[in-house]
Chains A and B, each alone.
Chain A
Amino acid sequence: MRIPPGPLEFTRRTWIRLVLLATFAFLYAPIATLVAYSFNDSRRNIVWRGFTTRYYERAMANDGLVEAFGNSLLIALAATVVSTVLGAMTAYALWRFRFRLKPLCEGVVVLPIVIPEICMGVAMLVFFARIGWPGDLPWPISLSRITIAHVTFCFPFVAVVARARLSRFNDELAEAARDLGAGEWAVLRDVILPHMRPGLVAGALLAFTLSLDDFVITFFTSGPDTVTFPVKIYSMVRFSVTPEVNAASTVLIAVTVTVTVVAMWLQNRTRPGAAP
């Protein structure tokens, strides 16, 4: 006999299932198509002609694309490290200290999150032009402009996540450490940082993915010799959407998903209690 769904068993109601299905289709159909057509044995992305990995090989052989991918990874890594350190310090300072104009400071920190990216891009372009930041530095120093630009919009995310985590800190933990003989630094190292860690991992992950696929700000700050992966794909798409572009995009998706999964797994493993 069929038991009628209970009041909170939403997933057992037919119409809700349909809505869920439609939502998932809407969200993931384009991505699924993109991935599927990267294996399509056809010049044109219209009809399915059979499975091939030819376009992955071709993407690999495209020196410009590989170089752009390397640039993107390097920029993302550097921007993530710098943003995480800066964001952690900002969050700690905003949480720990009381000072004049603190509400203003908290507002200014999140400003880059709300400012339209196009404005940030233009501002960066003008800024680097104005101070005369050299554009013809040897690689990888040549990526410094883009990296600095990425840090400016990545570190507020880290700061916000870490700050939220700190607001759930039990002050008695710090007091207990102090009572047991820990100085200011030891308290930070042994109690506060371990508490912040999940927030920092989440923030770093955000920073990494944001930096990896940023287009607008990168477009404004990249020089002719410093092309990143999204910018490169954009320039390829301007001629035609080839399966090669699909293949490259699929790799980008794979990288972000892998990094996310690994980070979540690491976080679960180090969470207190998950260890035996």
Chain B
Amino acid sequence: MTEAVRVGGICKRFGAVTALAEVSLRIEAGEFFALLGPSGCGKSTLLRIMAGLEHPDQGSVFIDGIDVGRTPANRRPVNMVFQSYALFPHMSVRSNVAYGLRVTGTGRAEAHERAEAALGLVRLTGYGERMPHQLSGGESQRVALARALVKRPRVLLLDEPLSALDARLRDEMRLELVTLQKTVGITFIIVTHDQEEALSMADRVAVMETGRIRQVAPPAELYEAPADRFVATFIGQVNLFPATIGADGTAQAHPFPGVTARARGIGAGRQVWIAVRPEKITMAPRGGVPAGRLSGVVEEVVYRGDLSVYLVRCMAGPDGLVRVSRANAARTADRLPGPGTEVVLDWAEDCAVVLAS
């Protein structure tokens, strides 16, 4: 694969705030890439540096293998879909979409033809004469997409493109964006704080925290093999047990003798965490089955429709609650263990992941 974007050692400060600290990243051509992280972690800043709208204090940006450090935003082969969509309010939809072509010298006829084609691509044929204020949120967004795509950029940058849409529309647009990306074959880099969005759309995800990249991996790897505690807790739910590496290289959780996991490449005596996802845990009433790894009492059941979350108390204190989730495969709830039921918890050995930090 060839690389589309490479950033190396990017640092950016705003006064006393460090927005980015030594960020390096390589994004392949044709990839759907997501930058995921909590609000304020520097995702937008990184995207804007790629676009040339912000200048890094340090570090370099390569697009298609060319150093664009000295290339101004208007001459970089990337285009951006802004969070506010930023449609020009005094121009019709067609003029908005054609703007990027017209301003760089494309003739009116060709620009309008290509604008119509781009509008067709985002399923807005016939909207050309409308003004931006006559569009719904979803339509505005698609106009913004068309306006960026019409330039046939090497890379399309999208800053929280779905955050202004309502939940239903957001689900639809996720699918549509993925399909669109496959159709046009352009590298997409999307910024989002919504882990579900990142996992469901992207080929690879970079998880960021306070200006640093914590892990870059495909969605499944991110979820099943998180690199550290931040990634494990930021993406989905997780039970964390404080543990120590024993002499034989296995991690042993402190108050829970049954909770162990095989650790690789971590020295004996180190303090680590054992992470287990709630849906990997099986739950059975105490008595019948073998002892399992943990035993406790169901304290609370949270019904979520497709699944229920059980908070099982295995020990007194705030760390003694274990979260278990189970699909509601049967229609009636009475066969599920209710609060007060004594249960044993178990999971397959390889479901427990050791986190060194």
Which residues of A pack against B, CB within 8 Å? 170, 172-173, 175-183, 186, 190-191, 194-195, 272-273, 275
Asked whether A180 lies within 8 Å of B89 as measured between CB atoms, the reply is no
Asked whether A179 lies within 8 Å of B74 as measured between CB atoms, the reply is yes
Contact with A along B76-109 (1 / 0, CB 8 A): 0011101110101110000000011001100000
Contacts of B75 in A (CB 8 A): 181
Determine the main DSSP class of A at the interface with B: helix
CA distance A272 to B72 in the complex (A): 30
- Find B88's partner among A175, A177, A178, A181 (CB 8 Å cutoff): A177
Contacts of B80 in A (CB 8 A): 175-176, 179
| Number of interchain pairs (Cβ within 8 Å) | 70
Additional A-B contact list (13), CB under 8 Å, known A176-B86, A179-B51, A272-B133: A173-B88, A175-B73, A177-B103, A178-B74, A180-B99, A180-B147, A180-B148, A182-B99, A182-B103, A186-B103, A190-B88, A272-B90, A273-B134
Contacts of A178 in B (CB 8 A): 53, 72-74
Asked whether A190 lies within 8 Å of B82 as measured between CB atoms, the reply is no
Enumerate 18 A-B pairs (CB-CB under 8 Å) in ascending A order: A172-B86, A173-B88, A175-B53, A176-B80, A176-B82, A176-B86, A178-B72, A179-B51, A182-B74, A182-B99, A186-B103, A190-B99, A194-B88, A195-B89, A272-B131, A272-B132, A272-B133, A273-B134
- Find B86's partner among A173, A194, A273 (CB 8 Å cutoff): A173
Task: Check: B154 CB closer than 8 A to any chain A CB.
Answer: no
CA distance A190 to B103 in the complex (A): 9
Nearest Cβ on chain A to B304's Cβ, whole angstroms:
37
Contact with A along B45-74 (1 / 0, CB 8 A): 000000111000000000000000000111
Contacts of B51 in A (CB 8 A): 179
Asked whether A172 lies within 8 Å of B82 as measured between CB atoms, the reply is yes
Nearest Cβ on chain B to A191's Cβ, whole angstroms:
6
CA distance A182 to B96 in the complex (A): 13
Asked whether B133 lies within 8 Å of A180 as measured between CB atoms, the reply is no
Task: Check: B142 CB closer than 8 A to any chain A CB.
Answer: no
CA distance A135 to B288 in the complex (A): 114
CA distance A180 to B88 in the complex (A): 12
Asked whether B74 lies within 8 Å of A273 as measured between CB atoms, the reply is no
